[in-house]
Chains A and B, each alone.
Chain A
Amino acid sequence: MNINSVGFLLHEGWLNIRRHLWMSLAALATVAVTLMVLGGTTWTAYRIHEIVAQEPEQFNVIDVFMKPATTREETLAVQTALKGNPMVRAVTLTTKEQAWAKLGSSDPTLTTALQDNPLMDRLQVQARSSDKVSQLAHWLKTQKQFPQIMQVNDADYEVGVLMGFAAIVRNIGLAVAFALAAATLLIVYNTIRLTVYSRRRELQIMKLVGATPWFIRCPLIFEGLFHGICGSLIASIALIIAAAQVSRFTQTLHSPLIAHASAAIGPLQVFIFLGLTGALVGLTGSILAIHRFVRL
């Protein structure tokens, strides 16, 4: 097969698409929707895992709340003692006055309504490593050395909720994407079947004048690939636009947990992932149809 033949085969494939323009558009749209769902759910699940994996520091922090009656000197003493613990990397104090001021700046009506500051001093204890977090949290919760400690909150709960959410998104997304992928396969399969039917004369002539089986199959495979790759292109563009919108929204939340969600998967990775998936669906649909309907 020379370069002349490649041009000819691409031209023949394009003629196939033009002949069934509406069916081709239906196939293309279904591929696009399927890949949008697949890409969207994969992206969401990936981002959640990435937040947890890339920012372990924020989950290494344990919040220790002091009893309201604790004096500043006692809090500072606890801070100094905790710093000496080998499992601890750092201990940061947020006084109840600082917390009250921060609350006042974000919601002045609340502080006005409350009048007195009900908050407590908070020590943010950062573990030396993520595998020490649970052990350190357990020790803080059960120790008797510092009776001034009222409550200990670790990140286990938040991580659990986040990972559970990621799993649900991933599982539902994969189930929907799998069903849509099956539908897409059938649509591509049916489109190629129509092409085989409408081009039966060409295929018959190709066979009789001695075209090789691959020469006969190529325009049909090209048609399937076209649906898959163009569908994935549309899905990629939609997904990148959607990711940019989500990123812009999360930045407005000023949440330390999702602040890094703005660092989305690069457009190239999206194009590659969806492009390969689309090409695979298009290729499989066309090969199945050729196997079933083209007699060589």
Chain B
Amino acid sequence: MTTTTASVATQPVSQRIAIALKSVSVLYPGHCQALSNVSLEIGAGEFVFIVGASGAGKSTLLKLLTHEESCTSGTIFVEGCDVSGMKVNQIPALRRRVGVVYQNFGLLPDRTVYENVAFAMRVTGAGRREVIRRLPEVLELVGLQSRPDAFPGQLSGGEQQRVAIARALVNRPSLLLADEPTGNLDPETSLGIVELLHDINATGATVLVATHDVAIVDRSARRVLEFADGVLVRDEACGRYGRGVLEDCGEAV
């Protein structure tokens, strides 16, 4: 069983710890070990790729951070909050600080771009005026300021993923989790999405991306966490998708 505790990567980040896992294990019913004794730290403002084969534990790790899943043992801290010992009524406050993006976008097909993003604000209690003030700013950030009235069915895959990212960002989370955000996109569109995630990271948000996309990991030259059968087997401050030395370390796409 391999346990690795990573140091913070080469990127210029603050000393504050955004995520800390200590000896975290997740055991699903039927003795299926999703994560095994994982310890790691991620500094605030870092950009981290999580790689590994399907079933390695990438998605489970992300779900632990939003308390969609609970760990069987160990402790998890997100932005200083003990997620593992969190009460049910504290979960909404945690989730407002964490934006989530999925491979299948998860958009509401009967609502426009504007309504999809506004929905995430309204359900957290934001008023109409606040939405009107915040929305143009977010849509501009993701490059969709000209298509607020389009429905998801009228958008390309890349545009739909941008809407999903806008929705994840609209409540100003300090941590953005992306689970296979380029899984349904062509290589060129994927690069555009990763560039957007880098831009978001540049504003100070911590970004975690779970992916199978070799190209975007190798071109990004960022910290890489590799999982295999629930175990953290590699933690490189400036890594590739596979094992090996990255020549242009430190340069982003």
> What is A's interface to B at a CB cutoff of 8 Å?
1-2, 4-5, 8, 201-202, 204-213, 215-216, 296
Contacts and interface: CB of A to CB of B under 8 A. Distances in A.
A210 B88 contact: no
B244 interface: no
A4 B100 CA distance: 25
Given A201-B106, A213-B88, A296-B88, A208 B95 contact: yes
A2 B96 CA distance: 18
B32 interface: no
Contacts of B88: 213, 296
Interface in B130-151: none
Contact of A205 (B94, B96, B106, B127): B106
B128 A205 contact: no
A296 B68 CA distance: 9
Contacts of A210: 91-97, 124, 171
Interface residues of B, number: 26
Contact of B127 (A4, A209, A211, A215): A4
Given A1-B125, A202-B119, A205-B120, A211 B92 contact: yes
B108 A212 contact: no
B171 A209 contact: yes
Given A205-B120, A210-B96, A215-B123, A4 B106 contact: no
Interface of B: 66, 68, 88-89, 91-97, 99-100, 106, 108, 119-120, 122-128, 167, 171
Which of A207, A208, A211 neighbours the largest number of chain B CB atoms within 10 Å of its CB? A208
Which of B89, B119, B122, B128 neighbours the largest number of chain A CB atoms within 10 Å of its CB? B122
Contacts of B91: 210
Which of B88, B100, B123 neighbours the largest number of chain A CB atoms within 10 Å of its CB? B123
9 contacts: A2-B127, A208-B66, A209-B123, A209-B171, A210-B124, A210-B171, A212-B92, A215-B123, A215-B124
Given A5-B122, A208-B68, A212-B92, 4 more contacts: A8-B123, A209-B120, A210-B91, A213-B89
B173 to A, nearest CB: 9
Nearest to B131: A4
Contact of B167 (A5, A209, A216): A209
Given A4-B127, A8-B122, A209 B96 contact: yes
A5 to B, nearest CB: 5
Contact of B125 (A5, A201, A204, A213): A5
A213 B88 CA distance: 9
A1 B119 CA distance: 16
Contacts of A209: 95-96, 99, 120, 123-124, 167, 171
A207 to B, nearest CB: 7
Nearest to A296: B88
B124 A211 contact: yes
A216 B125 CA distance: 11
B95 A205 contact: no
A216 B167 CA distance: 18
Contacts of A213: 88-89, 92
Nearest to A5: B125
A206 B123 contact: yes
A171 B93 CA distance: 52
Contacts of A2: 125, 127
Contacts of B89: 212-213
Nearest to B100: A208
Nearest to B96: A210
Contacts of A211: 92, 123-124
B54 to A, nearest CB: 21
A256 B187 CA distance: 92
A204 B93 CA distance: 16
A201 B91 CA distance: 19
Contacts of B94: 210
A212 B87 CA distance: 13
Contact of A207 (B95, B119, B128): B95
A14 to B, nearest CB: 14
Contacts of B126: 4
Contacts of B97: 210
Nearest to B97: A210
Which of A201, A208, A210, A213 neighbours the largest number of chain B CB atoms within 10 Å of its CB? A210
A222 to B, nearest CB: 14
Give 10 closest A-B pairs by Cβ, nearest first.
A210-B96, A210-B95, A211-B123, A4-B127, A210-B92, A209-B120, A206-B123, A212-B92, A8-B122, A208-B100
